[in-house]
Amino acid sequence: MAVTPLHLGSWRTPVEPAPRLATALGLAPDDLLVKRDDLVGPGGGGNKVRKLEWTCAEAVAAGSDTLVTTGAAQSNHARLTAAAGARLGLRVVLVLAGDAPRGPRGNLLLDALLGAEVVWAGAVDADGLQAAAERVAGEVAADGARPHVVPFGGSTTLSVQGYAAAGRELAEQVPDLRHVAVALGSGGTMAGLVQALGAERVLGVHCGAVPDAHVAVAHLLDGSAGPDPALRIRTDQVGAAYDRLAAPAWDAVLLAARTTGLVLEPTYTGRALAGLAAAVREGEVVPGERCVLLHTGGLPGLFGHAEAVARLEEGAGGSGQEP
Ligand SMILES: *Cc1c(COP(=O)(O)O)cnc(C)c1O
């Protein structure tokens, strides 16, 4: 079935200079631009919107009336699925890993605001979470509704086209683009950019959301499970775990905020900037090369990140480590 994407956002998203952040990283002032995919779309916006334009189109074309998707408790994808469903008049059921927290914060507050139903799957791995979503979809169908399961992170070989379009948009906006740094979660955003721009220009920074980032991106690119050595993926920014505060990512969040007024968060965009900073330090990225940091959104996650909130309540100091 041929699927035409729905319109959930107003494209193109802007590209902004960040000269003070560039020089803080050791680049020339004009070297760094920030592409603001955090600004556009329902539910606060973020990178999941471009993918949801495809997955929701698929659901609507199939006659579905209910979106079922999965994520971590602070999933931006779950929140944006809730928002897309609200806009399209679809019921949304979010199947989230873990147990209901006592005081919902961040994305969970917005999930409630947007009217999504939340089912807690308990302590499960990725397969367990997907199985829970299939179970919930079965219950929804047994009640006479027509569910559509949106896979983890909204990343499918179809929805990758949302970021292929973003990559073409970026190439028009920044013709001399040499590197685009992007946080890698489920891998669809990086995969789409690689389709449009080629592997050599895309620097993915693994955030620890999937066990093997290389396999995740390669699988979305060509359906194979084999790693592609041409993909540039940094795996050094994960730290203790996906949902823990990694010191370099936190330093990057503070640096972006204090040099530029640019608000990142520790789970995704902070890791992306920390990965770019490491690439500059190691000479993989050198002054004079045009770089773009893709701002993929996620601001509500900052308010739902207990360790980050605790740091700010303590007086906001850095990680205590040298950058
Ligand atoms: C999900 C997410 C990412 C990663 O995107 P994937 O396509 O899942 O790799 C990056 N940044 C933010 C803020 C996200 O929510």
- pLDDT, one tens digit for every residue, the chain (323 residues): 678 999 999 999 999 999 999 999 999 999 999 999 999 999 999 999 999 999 999 999 999 999 999 999 999 999 999 999 999 999 999 999 999 999 899 999 999 999 999 999 999 999 999 999 999 999 999 999 999 999 999 999 999 999 999 999 999 999 999 999 999 999 999 999 999 999 999 999 999 999 999 999 999 998 776 677 899 999 999 999 999 999 999 999 999 999 999 999 999 999 999 999 999 999 999 999 999 999 999 999 999 999 999 999 998 666 545 44
Distance of CA 244 to the CA centre of its chain: 16
Please give the Cα distance from 323 to 319 (Å, whole number). 9
Please give the Cα distance from 89 to 137 (Å, whole number). 18
pTM for the structure as a whole: 0.96
Closest CA to 196 of 217, 223, 177, 168: 168
Which residue do the tokens 């093997």 mark?
A: 212
- Beta-sheet strands, E only, within 130-265: 147-150, 177-184, 202-206, 232-234
For the record, the structure tokens of 87 come out as 């806009």
Domains, the chain, ordered by start:
15-44+156-313 (3.40.50.1100), 48-154 (3.40.50.1100)
Sequence-distant (≥ 6) Cβ neighbours of residue 16 within 8 angstroms: 33, 34, 36
The burial of 60, by beta-carbon neighbours within 10 Å (0-12 exposed, 13-18 middle, 19 or more buried), is given as: middle
Going from the Cα of 150 to the center of ligand 1, the distance in angstroms, rounded, reads: 15
Instruction: Return the residue whose CA atom lies nearest to atom 4 of ligand 1.
Output: 185
Closest CA to 56 of 71, 35, 41, 44: 41
Amino acid at 255: L
Going from the Cα of 47 to the center of ligand 1, the distance in angstroms, rounded, reads: 6
Beta strand 117-120 with 290-295: parallel, antiparallel or unpaired?
unpaired
Distance of CA 201 to the CA centre of its chain: 19
**Residue 153 alpha carbon, nearest atom of ligand 1:** 8
Residues lining ligand 1, CB < 6 A? Answer: 46-48, 76-77, 153, 155, 183-190, 268-269, 296-298
User: Contact at 8 Å (CB) between 193 and 167?
Assistant: yes
Which residue do the tokens 């795996």 mark?
A: 235
The radius of gyration of the chain from alpha carbons, rounded to an integer in Å, stands at 19
Closest CA to 41 of 3, 74, 10: 10
User: Contact at 8 Å (CB) between 64 and 39?
Assistant: no
